[in-house]
Structure 1
Amino acid sequence: MEKIVLIDGHSILNRAYYGVPDLTNSEGLHTNAVYGFLNIMFKILDEEKPDYFAVAFDLKAPTFRHKLYEQYKGTRKPMQEELRQQVPVIKEMLTAMKVPLMMLEGYEADDLLGTVAKKAEADGLEAVVVSGDRDLLQLAADHIMIRIPKTKKGGTEIENYRTEDVMEKYQVTPIQIIELKALMGDSSDNIPGIPGVGEKTATKLIVEYGCIENAYAHVEEIKPNKARESLRDHYDMAQMSKELATINIHSPFELDMEQARMTDLYTKEAFELCKRLEFKNMLSRFEIDQSEQNQVAESFHVTSDLQQAGEWLGQLKEEKQIGFFLLSDEEKAFRGMAVSGANDTFFFCKQGFLTEGYLTSALDELLQTAEQAVTIQLKEQMHFWKPAESVRKKIRDAAIAAYLLNPLKGEYPYEDMAKDYLATMLPGKTELLGKSKIKDLDEEDKILSAVGCYQSYTALHAMPVMLEKLKAEEMDSLFEEMEMPLVYALSAMEKAGIRADAGILKEYAGELSEKIHQLEQEIYTDAGEEFNINSPKQLGLILFEKLQIPGSKKTKSGYSTAADILENLAPEYPIIQKVLDYRQVAKLKSTYADGLASFIGEDGRIHGTFHQTVTATGRISSTDPNLQNIPIRTEMGRLFRKVFLPKENWIFIDADYSQIELRVLAALSGDEALIHAFQNGIDIHTLTASQVFHTPLDQVTPLQRRNAKAVNFGIVYGISAFGLSQDLKISRKEASEYIDSYFASYPKIKEFLDRAVADAKEKGYIATYYHRRRPVPELASSNFMQRSFGERIAMNSPIQGTAADIIKLAMIRVDQRLREEQLQARLVLQVHDELLIEAPKEEEARVREILHQEMLGVTDFAVSMEIDIQSGSDWYEAH
């Protein structure tokens, strides 16, 4: 028998939306429902292998049921915006796959599914109907199977129903499902049923009488009394409910079976839409011919011959604009060079006379003659090549431009740039390589050259489009004058590295091991037994059952021993403070004492990696290792800075912006009171304490100042009364009064923050003083928590982002001055608002002058920046 599969579109889309965590693509479009729908669809189609396939959707127009009963489906909440925007997308995808969509005004999807399924059955076909709606069980028959997906941990489970399955589960035949609904109603569709009759009583009545008409004919025999009176008094409601629940299997809809015949779903249009939606793991289902997929590869030329290379390089010298990419493998070994002109891209294999030195020198020559050059991930290529100072301003990095245009993505591969800015679908690096690695490919391998050529081609051709967008969004200066020069400062920092003493680390590891052992023994003594302190389950049992400490609720997995719960209890229970200390010391040992040692290179220095295209606020981040995360809140954590030493007979000079975010807040808000305080050297936390707690300035207590400091920084991060109450261990009412009093003291700050949220809601983004944009899609969410998070982002991003921009400009200026004056001193580390310089002792005075001039000269705000400069024989002493 031939088979038809029919899907209830809205039902499965809705189920997928609530079953798959929120996903968005780089355009900010929510995609989780579409993604989940396709996964369910592919699973069904793979299992059923049908001959025909169609998907039914409801339309907005009222149906005959609404005319019968105005309140039909009246209790349903409006569709969430994140789901609503995905309805046209799934329809677009199905249309791209050439799947017919079944829709008819005045009828629901259920009616169309019932009509088509019953006709298919009559025509001798097997029908499979897929829906999350159990109303459709009334259609189940020997040749009609209803499949109901259920989301469970680890994937989707599907329940299957034919006639006998319905009878086994519900004790009635499929058609009698309608009778049940007539009596018990259906809250999801707002079908009333009759009062006082639930599923159990309804089932009992239908098993006994078969239908509501027969039950009504024997109404005086019905027990219990309540059901008898309800049916007798409300039989008209039961009749109406039955009509509402009955799927119309004779609706005036006819499916064109030829259009519904299964063909290849994996069309070029569907492939392109999958790429746009960024469903990368679905792309393997498509067998798209690479030559058809893009004509770009036809312009690629590959050589390992010196003479041919010379001819091509001569040809490229005539180009005004070039794209380039120095290809390295997974171990950072150079493998070849791609260079693009207006029409052709050339790949020069590293082989024979085409050495790394020959090819990088050839690139230097090309950069001298070209007016502009573009690449992707310039800093990574500078591991084995350093562009001359004279050509640096000619080079642009397309990945950084893409980051500025959409800072939420985190990754900027060339295929995404080609899709976003060239409307071209290119095979990505992962697609090209499959399970191969670049280091395993030989020089003549086409895949090797293709990886390099696509990077170079995309960089050159996408950059003009990106520059136009940057200009339109007022970020061209940010790109040219901040982000591009920063690449060279970061590269120099990575190359310089920072010296770390493995011996001191080993000593600390030993000391921390002793401390861990000591804390373990004290905790065991307090607990009265030994247990695994690292096991939340065992710890929870000891603290909250054996020791009967109140304050944590038991869940299925046991008692919560999260930090916030333990921190609230620590002041009263010494064992809990010891557990917190144990966790802190154990982390210091594993992450820093043991972890940092593995990053020390043969030169005795740690060469971390700094990222400028990761954080949405514009802050620089670091990895391998994350040196920005060296703890400073505790003395034990701060001691790790003693591990970092300058060269022999050199010193560290550390310059730290003082209260940069509060100064930025004062400048951007224009609040006179805050500006006056900074201009006149008044301690801002003492002033805030004086105003919030109505205390004379000279009578502010240390506790009041500490609390005011929490309020000052909390305001910067959009803190709520609840958050402040948790931080200060005070009531929410008291915290709310602090915040109100703060805003009364600094009214323009309140105006500034409110305006930031309003602007972000209107425009969809928030901007820093230097025009860096941060999209805030959370503000459009139907979820209250997400919207609240979006409001905090809107308040904080202009402040934190502007501070990040200032430190970037300071880094560039300091780095350039040190080079211009040909000093040996060099920038080795940046940690948020702090710059660390390694310098010969005799250069200290000059370096201090440069730091002072350049870091303070970055801004022209009404509030001047302040810096604290210290020096020392290790990082601890210098900070």
Structure 2
Amino acid sequence: MKLLIKNEVLNVEKLVLIDGNSIAYRAFFALPLLNNEKGVYTNAVYGFTTMILKILEDEQPTHMLVAFDAGKTTFRHATFKEYKGKREKTPPELAEQLPIMRDLLNAFNIRYYEVDNYEADDIIGTLATKAVNEQQQWQVNIYTGDKDLLQLVSKNVHVSLTRKGITNVDTYDLQLVDDTYGITPKQIVDMKGLMGDSSDNIPGVPGIGEKTALKLLKEHKTVEGVYEAIDSVSGKKLKENLEQNKEQAFMSKKLAEIMLDAPVSIALDELKLGERENDELISLFKELEFNSLLDRLGMEATPSGTEEMEDLDVQSVNHVTEDMLQSPSAIVVEVLEENYHQADIIGLAIANETGTYYLSADVALKSDVFKSWASDGTREKYIFNAKRAVVALGWQDVVMNGIIFDVQIASYLINPSASSHDLADIAKRQKSLQVQLDESVYGKGKKRHIPEVTILSQHLGRKATALLELKDVLYDELQRNDQLDLFEKLEMPLSVILGRMEMNGVAVDGDVLREMGKDLSQRLEKMEKEIYELAGTEFNINSPKQLGEVLFEKLNLPVIKKTKTGYSTSADVLEKLQDSHEVIPLILHYRQLGKLNSTYIEGLLKVLHKKTGKIHTIFNQAITQTGRLSSTEPNLQNIPIRLEEGRKIRHAFIPENKHARILAADYSQIELRVLAHISQDANLKQAFNENMDVHTKTAMDVFGVDHTEVTDNMRRTAKAVNFGIVYGISDYGLSQNLGITRKEARTFIDRYFESYPGVKEYMDTIVEEAREKGFVTTMLHRRRYLPELTSRNFNQRSFAERTAMNTPIQGSAADIIKKAMVDMAEKMEEQNMRSRLLLQVHDELIFEVPEEELEQMTKLVPEVMEKAVELDVPLIADVAHGDTWYDAK
């Protein structure tokens, strides 16, 4: 009988106990490393949360607890000090995620618990025993990846063991334990006593594996029974091993036995499942970028707390007058859609010392008085997301000049780690006039709508008034932080440049894309036939279920991972099988080409603007904590370059003017050059100052060879180490990148620091400085606050230390290319040039250059880029040009 929920007649309570560490490890290794825009690793948290949701949906428990190990040492170490001694140290990428899991459990209102000197297994065993000993009837379900817990299976206790993947489990009752092993759950301990457990470093008896252990237990029931009848044990070597390791066998049994009366002070009633804290969950899911989980929970991505506000005195005007347009004024230009290149303005608001005014889009855009004021650069304006407003007005042929303060950018510079830079959140942090979140006014997704005028005018009026209040507060804080130059000389002019780039757009030859799509479709069709021939059957290659059946049933390839619906055919699985069958590389290539066709060829064709026929991407200026720009709608920074077919997509990016060329300029190893400058490491500086290949130099030092002996593989490894150091990579991360062991990766990192001691000293020093100040800065005074540096939690502190090391490097590199963009814009304007900056892609700038300016720009661009800032090593910008973006590279 399966009891899913508390039944009033049977009075059944259902308790779910989860082995937190086991599920966390399973989630971490089942998913590729993922991180949110702030650089926080999230793959284990995502998998863990998915598992929690599945358990809640499937089990519908009345009571629930997640048990964690309290530390490395337990009472078992007193019996055997090498207990679990061979386990690898927890990867820092996982360790950093464990505190976030606890935050999520708090939001779900699920209790978690740990006891010093005991393991999660002991907590689970004790609580399961308490539950089944209660007078009322309890059903206990345990979730773990550890087979040791099968010893707890009983009539009312089931154990769900995770299989490959995240949410796939096999649930063991008494019958399944018997069917699988032919012994009782209590004999699992005896089995471990005989065969040991390598994962826990339990020795057992040498030479005895699972098969032999089970055979002995079926005959003699227990370890004690085996030794009582030792004379009847057949097999000279087996008997000899048993006799010589008797003490070890009994010790191993003792180590494997889960304690059922551990000092667990929490009562069963305290485990009652409470109502989840939706606001906290929404906030966490948004921060972690778990949008699919928000949808799965059926929750709006807008926390509550938008209580009634007193109406503000907002005047709705049908005619714009000069009296309304004082200087300075705060202005709100409201666009409902995220992609403001494709959206209409739904209303405007202006606030100044004369009052707050609401203007419909129709009134404002038809008013010559408003247009004249908007374009007048001497009339000072405060705004939120200047680029968005300028571009939205630009599409309506209205020019906006005179913006001297952008509240969004100011907030972002003051604290880029803040979870949100929405105006409502900024106002709340600064205790300014309360502003509602847009989603609480307009709704979300398909429910999004334009509200009635009275609501819209109040909302926009409050926004404009808040901007007026926030300007001075944020200005003063920028001044205190020594960030006014960063704000006024870099980020504010950059927003104008980015707006201009977005409005100009990038010309794309749709015919080239369509021809590429046609070619890819033909190649895919041909590859399909080759795959069918190699597989010996026709099937839907894009169906994971059908592909799995062909690979693992028809071709009998080894099963790497299973999912709820069958065999996993994910990319990482297929990569591990590449040498198993000649069809696998073909399938991988087929998938790559298929993604190119659907995501990039068809995807780019879909976003060509109806009016211009060009692509108008959106550059996000206030998102990343390092200061880097990102690109969306579409993401032009993510066009594939590893695959030749992917690189060819750049053939479609062309000059708008047929008498122009595409010029591309990118910084050479800018982050490593910044590292050399900041760390002042003599060897690293020497490599750049003498124009050496820094990856070859590192390979020589790490491998201890002459430059003539450096192989391509050595240089590849050195390159991974060089850039890995910049990003604070761990031995685990490097081992995953290079496909080597963690020990080998650790050796490479240690040798790197021996070769570049100044870098090691910098890493140590910057962490200490950050701990004292509470933040790190870039060369241009961009800040990143790291309160976790003083956390008592080792995992949180480790993440903050790694961030302290790499943020000044990555952030300074981001500042440098932004400075180059501003400097280039000034130079082109000074020299009255017709060349235009089209795109910024990481460390690369893309220009459209008329043929008559080509020689001038070929000299000017690297000259300006290399002088953007002064370093103790040369900045190098490589420049090339061609008929298309592809040809320029």
CA contact (8 A) 1:829 1:836 kept: yes
For residues 676-720 of structure 1, the C-alpha deviation after alignment (integer angstroms, 9 at most, x for no partner) is: 8988xx865599899979xxxxxx99x999999989977753599
1:12 and 2:43 aligned: no
DSSP-derived class of the 1:332 partner: coil
For 2:140, the equivalent position in structure 1 comes to 129
Q: Deviation string for 1:749-793 (max 9, x for gaps)?
A: x2444345445666599865335568999999xxxxxx9999999
Cα distance change on mapping 1:384 and 1:244 into 2, 3 Å: closer
1:341-391 CA deviation, whole Å, 9 max, x = no partner? Answer: 99x9x7947376465869975994999777x7351x432333222697763
- In structure 1, give the amino acid aligned to 2:25: Y
- 5+ residue gaps, structure 1: 541-551, 694-699, 729-734, 781-786
Out of 159, 173, 178, the position equivalent to 2:171 is 159
Write the distance in 1 (CA, Å) between the matches of 2:584 and 2:276.
59
Whether contact under 8 Å (1:826, 1:839) holds in the other structure is yes
CA shift digits 1:93-132 (9 cap, x unpaired) = 77777777788889953475256425532xxx22233434
Residues 121-145 of structure 1: CA deviation (Å, up to 9, x unaligned): 2xxx222334347777777776xx3
- 759 and 650 in structure 1: CA distance in 2 versus 1, 3 angstrom threshold: farther
State yes or no: 1:717 paired with 2:730: no
Match of 2:704 in 1: none
Q: Which amino acid aligns with 2:213?
A: G
Are 1:198 and 2:213 an aligned pair? Answer: yes
Establish whether residue 146 from structure 1 lines up as the match of residue 152 from structure 2. Answer: no
* CA-CA distance at 1:491 after TM superposition: 1.2
Return the offset for 1:494: 1.7
1:422-821 matches, within 5 Å, as 436-437=445-446, 440-441=449-450, 443-444=452-453, 477-502=485-510, 600-601=608-609, 602-603=611-612, 605-612=614-621, 618-622=627-631, 646=655, 651-652=660-661, 654=663, 656=665, 659=668, 661=670, 667=677, 684=692, 717-718=723-724, 750-758=756-764, 763=770, 768-772=778-782, 802-819=812-829
Aligned-pair distance for 1:397? Answer: 2.6
Query: Deviation at 1:873?
Result: 7.2
Aligned to 1:373: 382
Which is further off, 323-332 or 491-500? 323-332
Shift in Å at residue 401 of structure 1?
1.1
Check 1:622–1:534 CA distance in 2 against 1; reply closer, same or farther (3 A cut).
Answer: farther
CA deviation string 1:852-875 (max 9, x = no partner): 764454223355556677777776
For residues 418 and 439 of structure 1, what CA distance do their matches in structure 2 show?
A: 23
C-alpha deviations, 1:248-291, integer Å up to 9, x for none?
A: 49x8968485x666664548778777777777646986999999
Identify if the C-alpha distance between structure 1 residues 484 and 5 changes in structure 2 by more than 3 Å, giving closer, same or farther.
Answer: farther
- 8 Å Cα contact 1:475/1:771 also seen in 2: yes
RMSD across aligned positions (CA)? 7.6
Alpha-carbon spacing, 1:609–1:456, altered in 2? closer, same or farther (3 Å): same
CA distance in structure 1 between the partners assigned to 2:392 and 2:167 by the alignment: 46
Structure 2: gaps of 5 or more residues:
1-7, 549-556, 562-566, 702-706, 739-744, 791-796
Shift of 1:484: 2.8
Looking at structure 2, the residues matched to 291 and 483 of structure 1 have their Cα atoms a distance apart, in angstroms, of 30
* Identical aligned residues as a percent: 25
**117 and 481 in structure 1: CA distance in 2 versus 1, 3 angstrom threshold:** same
Cα pair 1:651 1:874 within 8 Å, conserved:
no
Contact kept in structure 2, 1:478 and 1:771, CA below 8 Å: yes
- Alpha-carbon distance in structure 1 between the residues aligned to 2:435 and 2:410: 16
Counterpart of 1:401 (choices 388, 402, 412) is: 412
Amino acid of the structure 2 residue aligned with 1:815: A
- Once residues 634 and 179 of structure 1 are traced to their aligned partners in structure 2, the CA distance between those partners, rounded to angstroms, is 53
Q: Distance in 2 between matches of 1:513 and 1:239?
A: 61
In the superposition, relative to structure 1, how do residues 336 and 425 fare at CA in structure 2: closer, same or farther (>3 Å)?
Answer: closer
Residue identity in the other structure for 1:754: K
Gap change, CA 1:244 and 1:328, over 3 Å in 2: closer
Shift of 1:478: 3.4
Q: Which residue among 37, 48, 51 is the counterpart of 1:36?
A: 48
| 1:247 alignment counterpart | 260
Question: Counterparts of 1:138 and 1:431 in 2: how far apart (Å)?
Answer: 52
Q: Aligned to 2:402, which of 368, 391, 407?
A: 391
The amino acid across from 1:495 in the alignment is M
When the two structures are aligned, how many residues end up with a matched partner? 819
Taking a change above 3 Å as real, the CA distance of residues 757 and 7 of structure 1, as seen in their structure-2 partners, is farther
By how many angstroms is 1:443 displaced? 4.3
- Write the distance in 2 (CA, Å) between the matches of 1:423 and 1:465: 9
- The corresponding residue for 1:859 is 869
User: Separation in 2 of the partners of 1:672 and 1:438?
Assistant: 60
1:293 maps to 2:302: no
Q: 1:769 is paired with a residue of what secondary structure?
A: coil
Structure 2 CA distance for partners of 1:139 and 1:466, relative to 1, 3 Å: farther
**Whole-Å Cα distance in 2 between the matches of residues 577 and 274 of structure 1?**
37
* 1:506-537 residue CA offsets vs partner (Å, 9 max, x unmatched): 777789999x699989999x999999999999
Q: What is the DSSP-based 3-state SS (H/G/I as helix, E as strand, rest coil) of the residue aligned with 2:19? A: helix
**Cα pair distance change 1:810/1:724, threshold 3 Å:** same
Given candidates 307, 326, 329, the residue that maps to 2:334 is: 326
Aligned letter for 1:75? K
Question: Which of 1 and 2 has greater Rg?
Answer: 1
> Residue in 2 aligned with 1:350?
360
In the alignment, residue 247 of structure 1 is paired with which amino acid? L
Instruction: Provide the residue aligned with 2:793 in structure 1.
Output: none
Distance 1:223 1:610, change over 3 A: same
Paired amino acid for 1:769: M
Q: In the alignment, is the contact (CA less than 8 A) between 1:398 and 1:463 conserved in 2? A: no
The one-letter code matched in structure 2 to 1:40 is I
Shift in Å at residue 294 of structure 1? 3.8
Picking from 836, 857, 861, the partner of 1:826 is 836
Report how far residue 489 of structure 1 moved: 0.8
In the alignment, residue 825 of structure 2 is paired with which amino acid? D
Cα shift at 1:492: 0.6
Deviations 1:775-822 (A, max 9, x none): 999999xxxxxx999999999876665444333212112223444565
SS in 1 for 2:838: strand
Cα distance change, pair 232–842 in 1 and its aligned pair in 2 (3 A): closer
SS at match of 2:335: strand
In structure 2, relative to structure 1, the CA distance for the partners of 1:760 and 1:358 (3 Å cut) is farther
Task: Check the 8 A contact 1:219/1:232 in 2, yes or no.
Answer: no
Aligned with 2:868: secondary structure? coil
Closer, same or farther: CA 264–534 of 1 in aligned 2, 3 Å: closer
The 8 Å contact of residues 673 and 875 in structure 2, kept in 1 or not, is answered as yes
> C-alpha separation between the residues in 2 aligned to 1:243 and 1:877?
65
Distance 2:438 2:425 in 1: 11
1:45-64 to structure 2, matched below 5 A, reads: 47-48=59-60, 50=62, 53=63, 55=65
* Partner residue, 1:335: 346
Write the distance in 2 (CA, Å) between the matches of 1:576 and 1:186. Answer: 38
Match for residue 731 of structure 1?
A: none
Cα gap change, 1:199/1:444 in structure 2, threshold over 3 Å: closer, same or farther? farther
Residue identity opposite 2:260 in structure 1: I
Cα drift, residue 224 of structure 1 = 3.6
Distance in structure 2 (CA, Å) of the matches to 1:647 and 1:235: 79
1:856, 1:865 within 8 Å by CA — same for their partners in 2? yes
Distance 2:875 2:248 in 1: 80
Aligned partners of 2:623 and 2:92: how far apart in 1?
28
Does the aligned pair in 1 maintain the 2:662–2:883 contact within 8 Å? Answer: no
Structure 1 contact 374–463 (Cα < 8 Å) conserved: no
